[in-house]
Each structure stands twice: as C-alpha cells, then as structure tokens.
Structure 1
Amino acid sequence: MTSNFVKELTPQLIEWRRTLHALPELGFMEYITTYRIGKELEEMGFTIHVGKDALEKNSRLGLPNEAAITAHEEKAAEWGVEEPWLEKMRGGNTGLVATWDTAKQGDHVGFRFDIDALPINEATEETHLPSKNGFVSGEANVMHACAHDGHATIGLGVAKFISSNSDNLKGRFTLLFQPAEEGGRGARAMTDKGWLDDVDYFYSGHIGIHSMPVGTIAATTKGFLASIKFDVTFKGVSSHAGMHPELGKNALLAATTAANNLYGIPRHYDGVTRVNVGRLTAGSGRNIIPEDSYMEIEVRGETQDIGDYMAEKAKRIIKAAADMHDVSCTIEPVGVTEVLVCDEELIPKIQEWCESSEFVKEVLPSVPVSGSEDASLMMNRVQEHGGKATYMLFGTKLDYPHHHPQFDYEEDVLSVAVDTFVSIIKGGSSDV
C-alpha cells in the first residue's frame, strides 16, 4: 500500500530535509544542493540533466556577481562536489532535471520543486527546532526560511516512489529541481529549455503559506500576482560637501526621490497592485556628495496588464528622479513571475485520488494566496501546449511567517505532501 511506502520512507524524508537545511545556498549558487539531490536521484536510476543541460543559461535572471559565484564554486569543490558535476554547473548554472520513462504508453507528468534559500540569518534560540535539534544553518546570512528544503525533500520522496514502482506505472515523469525561485529568477531558464512543452499534467506546490493543520491540503490556489523585479543604479558626481557642494551630483537624493515617489503610483481600478523598495545603499561619508546609489525594487499586479502598468510607471519615476538630480541611471530587470490560473477540473480528481490516503485528512478545493511564484511560467507553458496544471498547498502550523529568522514547519507535512503526489501518480498513471 502507498501509505506503508510513505511510512517507511518518513525517517529518510526527515534526514534529507535536515541535511539540506543545515547547508543552504542562495539562488544560482546551489552547487552542493544540486549535487546532493543529483547523487540520490542517480542512485535511484533516474536520467539526470545537470546545470547547463537543464537550463537555458541566457534566460537566467538576477545572477549573483562573478566574485560570489567563483567563491562558492571553490567552496563546493572543497566540500567534495565532483569535478564533472561542477563543470556542468560553473558560472551559476545550478539545478537539475530528472527524467523517467516507464516505456509504457501514458501521460507525461511533470513536477517542480524549488531548492534555493534566502539571505537571512537563522535564529539560534533553543525554541527554534533546527537549533534545538542540531541542524540550524551553518551558513552566515543564508537560511531555508521558505521551506524549499522541504520541497526538495518532497521531490526526492516522489522520485523514490517512481523508481520503486515503475513496473506498475505508465507514461513518463519529469522532475524539475529548480534553482533561484526567490526573486522569480530561475523558472524561465528551465522553461525555455523545453522541458514543459509536451507535459500533459503539471504539479507544483508549497508547504505552508497559510497556517493549516497537517493533513489539510489545497488542490488549487488563487491570487498569485504577476511580478517584475529591478535592480537600479544611479551614477552621479562626487564632491566636497562643504567646499564645493555645487559641483556634486547627488545619487543618494535621486534614489530617495525615486523611492518616495514609487509608493505614490496610482493603484489600478482593475485589481491588486504592490510596490516595494527592498534595499537602498548609497554614499561613503558624511562630508562627501554621494556619487553612487543602488536600489532593489519590485512591482506586482493582479493581472499581467496591471503588472506591466506598475512596471512602466516605476521606470518612468526612476528616470524622472535621475533627471531631477542630474544623474544617470540604469534599470536592470532581474526577476519575473506571471499570473497563474490552476485548472479547476483537477480538483475532483485530486479529491478522489486522495480519498484513501492515511495522511491526507482534508482536500480544500482552493485557497486564496498572495505574493508571486515563478512556477507560473512553467504552468503557463504547459497550459499553452494543451496540458493541465495546478499549484497546491500543504498545511502546517506556522508559528512564524515565511522569510522570518525563526521560520519552521511541522516535519509531518513532508509525508503528507509525498503521499499526495504519490496518490496523484497512482490515480493518473497507474497500470494496475
């Protein structure tokens, strides 16, 4: 029985999760994470496509700087990532795709699992489970604060079921372990590689988002926003603030003018809008006119048109702020997500397939969400080619929100999510 399989696998799921949690890596620098996942999948018998074989490298967005990439590659080599693996990932080409063909006619089913962490210092209080149990992040200012360690673990659990039960399954399976979900940077690179072009059914999802009991899942979600991210650099002229302020061109003032006015973009009557200035750095000393400033911003919209509206308004304000203070500016797009619409006809199927699960206690038809998800690009590609797709939620109690230093989740949710996807596989792809 499926439930027995998941019960026996549960200790391994917890071990995988804690191992990944203790050594988190930021987007496009998941060298060790990719290697660890890949070695497990290789042992299961999957065909592995790593790094440059999994991504369209020119479609990546928001790459880390060269120095950071090089330093992390050196660290990965010292840690033990084998050179052939590292060679395929060099230059920030992380992530992998695992494929399995049962050689029996059937649907092509795709799954996406994100693997990157966040630039957050993890809490070390004893009340924080990873700290209490010895698997707190060992990396300064890097933390799995959005459950991607759990998502990667779920992917490994799904893979284990496919490899162990291939004789009773039909069709093909494609598992995408995606880098750089945070900031909407990685999905386009995998999508443009063509992995989703002939997928019949596509499933992705998230642990948490809403605090729900373990065992409660959502078959679909509604409300993810289209999002566009920008890095903005202002370039002015430095001068002595006391002796010759008139010779300076203040890049800091340009940035703050832009930041203040971005929040004044008129909201759109057709739907929800968002804008945020998440980072602003400028200047070098109190008596120096700031020559440079740097700003990270994002805009979001309930529809693609509203997202585009917000982006165009933001760019106009940034350029006007630069002109006002007689400085130059560059605006670099570094991330994008799209609006996603789940196929509602999957709801009764998922409810039916999960009826006999010992782990799934309730299947909600849909749950409202906010924020953005770059799995939207994958879902939209599948749907454009005639396939069906959904984005699910897996309930857990949340004492702290996502992206918080004390974020954590109940590890029982790992078994629930694996059993959900296994039930879906059996329901839609079983040959018995």
Structure 2
Amino acid sequence: MQQEILDYVDSLAADLQHWRRDLHHYAESGWLEFRTATLVAAELHRLGWQLQMGREVISAEHRMGLPDAATLQREEQRAIEQGALTEWLPHFSGGFCGLVATLETGRPGPVVAFRVDMDALDLNERLQDDHRPFRDGFASCNAGMMHACGHDGHTTIGIGLARTLMTFAAQLNGTLKIIFQPAEEGTRGAKAMVEAGVVDEVDFFGAIHIGTGVPAGELVCGCDSFMATTKLDVDFHGVASHAGGRPEEGRNALLAAAQATLALHTLTQHSGGSARVNVGVLRAGSGRNVVADRASMKVETRGGSNQVNDDIFARTQQVIAGAAAMYDVEHHITLMGSARSSQPTAPWVRFIRQQAAQIAQITSRVDSKNQAAGSEDATWMMERVKARGGQASYLIFGCDLSAGHHNEKFDFDESVMATAIKTLTLLALNIDQYREEEK
C-alpha cells in the first residue's frame, strides 16, 4: 500500500505543475490572496474535506501589516476579474484569506497538521526570455506581486497532499489538518491564525519550505535557526514652520527620526545571544525651507532567542519615545509583523528523518542546518503546539533554484513538490508507528 501511495503521488505530476503555474501567474501578496483562497477552497470541498475559512480561522484583531480598505477592495475586484470563485469569496472578503481543511477518519489517533503558505512578495517579476516563467507564459500578470519565495509551490503541495490523503483515507487514523496561511511574508499572518485557535488541538505539527539554499535531494528535518523578530512602522508628528523666518516655532519630526535611527543601531549587543536592529526606510519633510512636521520609519528587530528579541524590541520602543521627547514631537508605533524562535521537537524530528529514508528522491537527511539569520512566522504555530503538549518541526526540502529567494528571477525545480507530498503523506500514514516506538 505504501508503494501504491508513492506511485499515486508521481501520477499527479502534470496536475501539480498546472496548479503551481496557475498560482504563479496570478500571484497575490499578503492578505490579498482572494483568488488563491477561493480556488483552494473549491478544490478541497470537491475532495470532501471539512473547511473552516476566513474569520473562523483568523483573529481580526491580531492581523498585522493589513493593507488599507481601499487596497483590499481594489484587489478583491482584481481577483474576481482574474477568476476568483465568487461563491467562495464572501468567506475571504476584507482580507481574511486563510482556511483550514480537516479530515476526520473516524478512527482513534492523534491530530496531525501541516502548514503551507499562499502569499507572494511585493516584487516585479523579470519579464525576459532568460526567465522560464516568462518564456513559458506563466510569469506574474500582477504588477508588484511575484511568487519569488516558492509559496506557489507550497500551496500546490497542500492541494496535492489533500488529494493524496483523501484518496487513501481508509488507511489513515486520527485527524488530519492542512492549514493554508496568508501573509507569511513580513511575518504577518500566523499569529492571527494561532489566536483563532487553529492549532490548539494539534498533537503533531509540521511547516514546510522548499529551496532556501538547501541542495537538491536533501531534507532538513528540523530547521532550528529562525530568529525571533518584530517589525514596526513609526510615525513622528511635529509642527511645520518657516526654516528661515520662524525656526523656533517648529518641532522637527525629521530630527527626531534621525536621532532614533542613530540610537537604534547601537542596540545590537546582548549577552543572551545574537541581536539585530535595522531601520530600512526613513522618510521625512516636505521642502528645504520647511521645518519637517512629518517623518516615518520602517524598523525591525531580531533575536537569536525570544527573550533577546523581546528585550531589544522593548529598548527600541524606549529609544523611539526618547527621541520624540527630545524634539517635543508625538510618535505612534504600529506593529507590522512578528515571529518567534522555536526549537523543533527532537523525537518528531527523528521520526521525520526515518520516514524520509523511504523516499528515493531524498538522498540526504539532516536534523538541522546552519541557515542565514532569517525569520518565519510558522514558529508561532510551533510554539503554541509545544506549549499545549504537542510536537512540532519545520521541514526544508532542498531543490535547484534559478536564483535566490526574493529575486526577480526566482524559479524552482517543480519535481520537489511530489517529494514533499510523499514525505508528509508517510508522516500521516505511519503516525501510529511513531507512537508505538515512543512508548
């Protein structure tokens, strides 16, 4: 039966390619995945999965980095024009573009959940013949939105996994969940789903990614190098005045922002581990002869542990408040994204490594790997699962890439999608074997 399942996944290759290329062509950025979410919902409903959607699985008050109402409305209309299924759209309207699919087998067993993300990046794709998506006619048709991180592949993996698990449901036990998450880029979406309770009953959890510099054929069974992060926008509000005639009547927001920028970049020392602060954007002023009454900054902090990041973020807020007070201006901080640092659960990682040994396309299996110091908001889900007594890990499936992630020429070897589906299917199929071994 196990070989039959692996052969079945191989038979899906053409369908997987079609799904991936369609999603790539109609790339949608975070909280704007209207078309993507409706197509996923329709397909999983057709397969017989139970669905929870939109506000059922996303806490409105915990969404971060949400586009303004005009953008949400405009992009929803754009999605309709590009084939979003209007019968499903009300579930996702307003940017609630997440869903959770559940398969209850009716037989005793744990709750096993896998998370895939759906959003594209705010990036223009390369439109030249040296880029395969353009050459083969599936480059993004949406300006400023591109799948340059592989989330089109992740969503396709979720769809293929749903087909496979439902086809072989008679061989499964317990409850299976597939979480389709919006707005991973900028670490904006996972916390809102966690606060809606989507992983509260989960016993075993896995999030996935493809690529990330991991060589083709290698599986990282438990990536443990993600840094905790907090992302924030800062607005300073002062008083404008004539810079030559009445400078003393002004309150200079530009100077407050500049002072904060210089001070923030001194905060990167922490005895608890690695720490980062970056002011990536600073805008201010309206003219050379006007004391600037407005300034804005885009800032992020990171830490090698949750405690380090929390400490750096607290000091960041103090620095910003101090700079505002120094120049007698008001300030406002808006939280735009966050993620945690999370260590995978060792027994679950061992089981992942064991199951992956049965897949011919995986030629190397490692528990962890030194990665660049990035962040990933699936860590919110991992931490909640572990806090409630479950086990969690983050899997990276290596594959060949045409360019690095977040690059206008990004593309990947599509065969990795079947490899990921096989791995996740075996984890679900053989979960009782894990439980027996751990007794």
Q: TM-score range by the shorter chain?
A: over 0.9
Shift of 1:241: 3.2
Percent identity at matched positions? 38
Name stretches of at least 5 consecutive residues in structure 2 with no aligned partner.
Answer: 434-439
2:384 to 358, 381, 389: 381
Instruction: Look up the equivalent residue of 1:337 and give its one-letter code.
Output: A
Q: What amino acid maps onto 1:180 in structure 2?
A: A
Determine which of 164, 183, 194 is the counterpart of 1:161. 164
Q: Summarize the alignment of residues 301-316 of structure 1 with structure 2, pairs less than 5 Å apart.
A: 301-316=303-318
Cα distance in structure 2, aligned partners of 1:164 and 1:429: 19
Distance 1:357 1:266, change over 3 A: closer
* Farther-moved stretch of structure 1 (419-428 vs 30-39): 419-428
Displacement after TM superposition at 1:69 (Å): 1.1
CA separation in 2, counterparts of 1:359 and 1:143? 28
Q: Is the contact between residue 5 and residue 168 of structure 2 (CA under 8 Å) also seen in structure 1?
A: no
| C-alpha contact 1:212 1:395 (8 A) present in aligned 2 | yes
In the alignment, residue 123 of structure 1 is paired with which amino acid? R
1:54-82 Cα shifts (integer Å, max 9, x gaps): 21222212211111112112223333434
Amino acid across the alignment from 1:126: D
CA distance in 2, matches of 1:335, 1:347: 28
Q: Is the Cα contact below 8 Å between 2:226 and 2:342 reproduced in 1?
A: yes
Which stretch shifts more, 233-242 or 112-121? 233-242
2:98 is matched with: 95
| Conservation of the 8 A alpha-carbon contact between 1:272 and 1:301 | yes
Shift of 1:144: 1.2
What letter matches 1:65 in structure 2?
A: D
Which residue of 2 is the match for residue 282 of structure 1?
284
What 5-or-longer segments of structure 1 have no aligned partner?
A: none
SS of the residue corresponding to residue 424 of structure 2 reads helix
User: What is the aligned residue count?
Assistant: 430
Give the match's secondary structure for 1:419. helix
Post-superposition offset of 1:258? 1.5
Partners in 2 of 1:404 and 1:116 — Cα distance? Answer: 15
CA distance in 2 between counterparts of 1:291 and 1:121 reads: 33
Deviation by residue 1:4-44 (Cα, 9 ceiling, x = unmatched): 11211111111111111111112111111111111111111
* Matching of residues 30-109 of structure 1 within 5 Å: 30-109=33-112
Amino acid at match of 2:255: L
TM-score w.r.t. length of structure 1 = 0.95
Match of 1:187 among 167, 187, 190: 190
**Match of residue 413 from structure 2:** 410
Say what the alpha-carbon RMSD is for the aligned residues.
Answer: 1.8
1:355, distance to aligned residue in structure 2 (A):
2.3
Letter of the aligned partner of 2:141 in structure 1? G
Please point out which of 336, 339, 351 is paired with 1:337.
Answer: 339
Distance 1:416 1:37 in 2: 20
Please state how far the C-alpha of 1:287 moved relative to its aligned partner. 3.2
Aligned to 2:436: none
CA contact 1:3–1:359 (8 Å) conserved in 2: no
Q: How does 1:169-180 map to 2 (within 5 A)?
A: 169-180=172-183
1:225 equivalent to 2:227? Answer: yes
Q: Quick check: 1:171–1:429 contact (8 Å CA) kept in 2?
A: no
What is the TM-score of this pair, normalised by structure 2? 0.93
Provide runs of 4+ in structure 1 moved above 6 Å. none
Letter in 2 for 1:9: L
AA partner of residue 333 (structure 1):
L
